[in-house]
Amino acid sequence: MTVNVKFVGSFRGVSGKDVIALRFKGSVSLRALVSRVVERLPRLKSALVDPASGEPRTNMLVLVNGREIGVLDGLETAVNDGDEVVFVPVMHGG
């Protein structure tokens, strides 16, 4: 199966890519997809993964087929053939 992964804003700049296609043998969790992304594009690791916990960071929006993962199953959201995953950085300021 193939999943298209898009990068927006600073993630696009860090990765040097607008979109990549990842292939998996079957349905995978979003958590597993993030691991595959950082394997393929190691420059994104510090932007996508919290070094203290090893878990995907919470300071980004992740959309699966246009729906934010908070309204799905979070990092356990199943990603299937033909799905689109978009990583959007969130910046806070004061």
**pLDDT confidence tier of residue 92, bands split at 50, 70 and 90:** low
Average pLDDT over residues 33-45: 95
Q: Is residue 33 part of a domain?
A: yes
Domain that residue 79 falls in: 2-89
Could you give the angle at the alpha carbon of 50 between the alpha carbons of 69 and 42, nearest 5°? 95
Q: Is residue 85 part of a domain?
A: yes
Q: Is residue 94 part of a domain?
A: no
Average pLDDT over residues 11-23: 95
- Alpha carbon 34 to its chain centroid, in Å, reads 5
**pLDDT confidence tier of residue 19, bands split at 50, 70 and 90:** very high
Q: Domain total for the chain?
A: 1
Q: What is the mean pLDDT of the chain?
A: 92
